[in-house]
Amino acid sequence: AEASSDSDGKPDDDDDDDTGLTEEEVVLAKTIAESPESEQSVQKAALVLRLREGIGSLGRILKTIENFKGIITHVESRASKKEGLQFEVLIKIDMSRQSLLQLIRNLRQSSALDGVTLLADNSVSIKDPWFPRHASDLDNCNHLMTKYEPDLDMNHPGFADKEYRARRKVIAEIAFAYKYGEPIPCIPYTETENETWSRVFITVLDLVPKHACVEYQRVFKKLQEERIFESHRIPQLQEVSDFLKRNTGFTLRPAAGLLTARDFLSSLAFRVFQSTQYVRHINSPYHTPEPDCIHELLGHMPLLADPSFAQFSQEIGLASLGASDEEIEKLSTIYWFTIEFGLCKEGTEVKAYGAGLLSAYGELLHALSDKCEHRPFDPSTTALQKYQDQEYQPIYFVAESFEDAKEKFRRWVAAMSRPFEVRYNPHTQRVEVLDSV
């Protein structure tokens, strides 16, 4: 860029250390380097290296790139006009973002080099952002939010409980180590953990007939008949995942905690639900702001086994792939006020279908009382509603039905800015990208 072409006073016309890549591509290289998603996935990158002492050191440098597991696809060198810098070398590499960043750090320390510039490869375009294309790509989507960590948050009920914190670590490790296709490890839950489950389960069982929507009740019964839901023990994620698979094709994968909204939503596109596996602290059984497996199991599982609801969930996921940050925020808000805290009409009555209500006895009663406000679900206004996740919600949105919510959601998504369409192919289990321009 840089000083030399500016200092000679002439316009910067593709001589010197400029390799003919546009400014746009350089910006793109930066966004790739900064994007949080694709740490493990292989990407195309191009580096311009300025060699200090002739081409002789190139061999060593290529070796270094190979050591960092980069696959070199192109090498081009030319003499530099800059004084003291004898060669400039353009190297195109396929490698994971993480290794690329390590490589660049390593090269910058080399005395043989006077500079390293990262450029984008022409084949990477802005219209083609990275997002998972197959459920196995979700192995790369494990980015946690730094929220509700019992280790870090003094208000967490587990903060002062050393044993609880150690337990959370063990269970989180299982999720971090998990890879697509593996069975979900079984957790032998402790007596205390099963006791916490029992308390919540019994209260929910009591309220379901009156307050839960019929779809929830239907699957809940089925789960009881199949002895997956029992009051004395926490179901294992694997058996619940098998149950979902038989009913709607949804499966579970273990999540270490609260994922970023982008990672969390993208899984839904593949009918994969990221489920925590740890249990809330025994001291706060009836309400916790963070998701735990009691919330996932009692709140989410019944409706993920309902075909219409499963379809709605997947469509939110598909809409999130390649969406902008602002759109992700809106989709999260819609997720929040439907799947998490949604109410729906049933004849003249209002029932709960949101998982955060069906796993929290206190809030379920609150949501159906006159202490809060009910508004009709309408994606364009619901998507803009601010919310907090600490206390009971002051506002809930009421859908006419799942079918109606889906219809309205589809019309709203169609107006999103994405320059391409995505479609899930159930035969290959891949997301296909269709250019619409």
Catalytic residues: 295, 300, 340, 359
Applying CB under 6 A, among 51, 213, 259, 422 the residue interacting with ligand HBI is 259
320 binds ligand HBI (CB under 6 A): no
Total residues interacting with ligand HBI, rule: CB under 6 A: 12
What's the residue count for the chain? 437
Phi/psi at 170 (5° precision) = -60, -45
Q: Which is nearer to ligand NLE, 157 or 185 (CB)?
A: 157
Applying CB under 6 A, among 80, 276, 314, 393 the residue interacting with ligand HBI is 276
The number of C-alpha atoms within 13 Å of 186 and in the hemisphere containing its C-beta is: 4
Applying CB under 6 A, among 90, 258, 293, 352 the residue interacting with ligand HBI is 258
Total residues interacting with ligand NLE, rule: CB under 6 A: 8
Distance CA 216, CA 224 (A): 12
368 binds Fe ion (CB under 5 A): no
Q: Which is nearer to ligand HBI, 65 or 261 (CB)?
A: 261
Distance CA 138, CA 179 (A): 9
Beta carbons within 8 Å of 423's beta carbon, 6+ residues apart: 318, 431, 432, 434
Compute the least distance from the CB of residue 259 to ligand HBI, in Å: 4
Query: Using an 8 Å Cβ cutoff, are 220 and 204 in contact?
Result: no
200 binds ligand HBI (CB under 6 A): no
Compute the least distance from the CB of residue 159 to ligand NLE, in Å: 17
Distance CA 213, CA 209 (A): 9
Applying CB under 6 A, among 261, 301, 305, 343 the residue interacting with ligand HBI is 261
Distance CA 379, CA 368 (A): 21
332 binds ligand HBI (CB under 6 A): yes
Applying CB under 6 A, among 359, 364, 368, 379 the residue interacting with ligand NLE is 359
82 binds ligand NLE (CB under 6 A): no
For tokens 């316009």, what's the residue? 11
Distance CA 250, CA 10 (A): 61
Distance CA 436, CA 65 (A): 38
Q: Which residues bind ligand HBI (CB under 6 A)?
A: 255, 258-259, 261, 264-265, 274, 276, 291, 332, 335-336
Q: Which residues bind ligand NLE (CB under 6 A)?
A: 287-288, 291, 295, 340, 356, 359-360
